[in-house]
Amino acid sequence: MQHFLKGALALGAFALTFGVAQAQDLAPLNSDSEPDRMDWSELDAKFGQMPVPAAGTKVGGVSKTLTNEYWRSLGEGYANVATKLGIEFVYQAAQSEGDQLGQLAIAENLISQGFNALLFSPQTDANLIPAVEAATAAGVPVLNVNDAVIPSAANYVGNVQKGNGVNVANWFIANRPDGGKVAVIEGQPGVYAAGQRTAGFTETITAGGKFEVVASVPANWSREEAFNAASTILQQYPDLIGFYANNDGMALGVVEAVKAAGKAEQVAVFGTDGISDAYAAVRAGDLTGTVDSFPVLTGEIAMEVALRLMAGQDLPRVVATPQALITKDNVETYATSDMAALRAALLAN
């Protein structure tokens, strides 16, 4: 009981400043367009150095899955800050990116374990809503971190999802001036990030009238499903000039399909996330590019945001994290595990 009371007291100021959705009249969150926002690079300038957390601070993280490198890297970023500051940190995830009930069970299990805050990366916009409601009732604040968006989330950290697709579309516009037929391999239906990435690409590339999106089909973040979908599309549209996939795993499946069809010279392929296999494929000339949203850095920023909120800082509802289009021209600039060097490179561009 004494431990519970100490935890409850520690949460008091945090719950007030964290903006628990049921205590405030918050509009449903659209993380790309929410006006109450700031860029990650402004944190120190606007709020000073990150406060030192209280002794005994515990933070829990719930991720989509650890089978995808992106989510392992996000956890690495969380852990970097937790280890540096002596914070107890637990990171758990579902068995697969489609295990919505499994992820919900993990989140609900962590709520009762005395954490000062929880970092949720839900599989869909809806599957962790019961856990958010349970956490709110228990006085445990939740930070929504990339990439599905919980409508009632009081605070969110992540990149502008629509910008992923916009970046790729702009590459095609600049590098394929004659236009042509392109296709999209979408992620999981019902996930905010998948919808926004697809919309950003489709709206931007079709605006000028030179490009036609001839197919846009979901592959549920699966490399195998993406290979099958891309193979079918290539048979239907032999003059296709490019694919945009909502994540890198699917993009690598598309690359395999393009190679099997003998169209590697004709068809450009882009992914999203910036995992190490995507970087290797860009270097090898197999993958034309990826939009890196720097998951390790995102994890560090998200943990920092949680700690700032716990210290009572009145941060905006959304803290936007960086992204960059990676091609053979700049791959070595961003291919670094040195987070200080990466931050400097991003701030310079």
Ordered domains of the chain (ranges, CATH):
2-158+295-321 (3.40.50.2300), 161-292 (3.40.50.2300)
The pTM is what? 0.89
Mean pLDDT for back-to-back runs of 10 residues, the chain (349 residues): 33 38 71 97 96 95 96 98 97 95 97 95 96 93 94 96 98 98 96 96 97 98 98 98 98 98 98 97 98 97 96 96 97 93 91
pLDDT of amino acid 139: 87
pLDDT of amino acid 301: 98
pLDDT of amino acid 2: 33
Full DSSP string of 253-288: HHHHHHHHTT-TTT-EEEEEE--HHHHHHHHHTSS-
Contact of 60 with 89, CB cutoff 8 Å: yes
3-state class percentages of the chain: helix first, strand second, coil last, to nearest 5: 45, 20, 35
Residue 211's H or E segment, with its range, is strand 211-218
CB atoms within 10 A of CB 295: 26
List all residues 6 or more positions away from 208 whose beta carbon is below 8 Å from its beta carbon.
173, 179
pLDDT of amino acid 11: 37
Q: How far apart are the first and last CA of the chain?
A: 52
pLDDT of amino acid 10: 38
CB atoms within 10 A of CB 154: 24
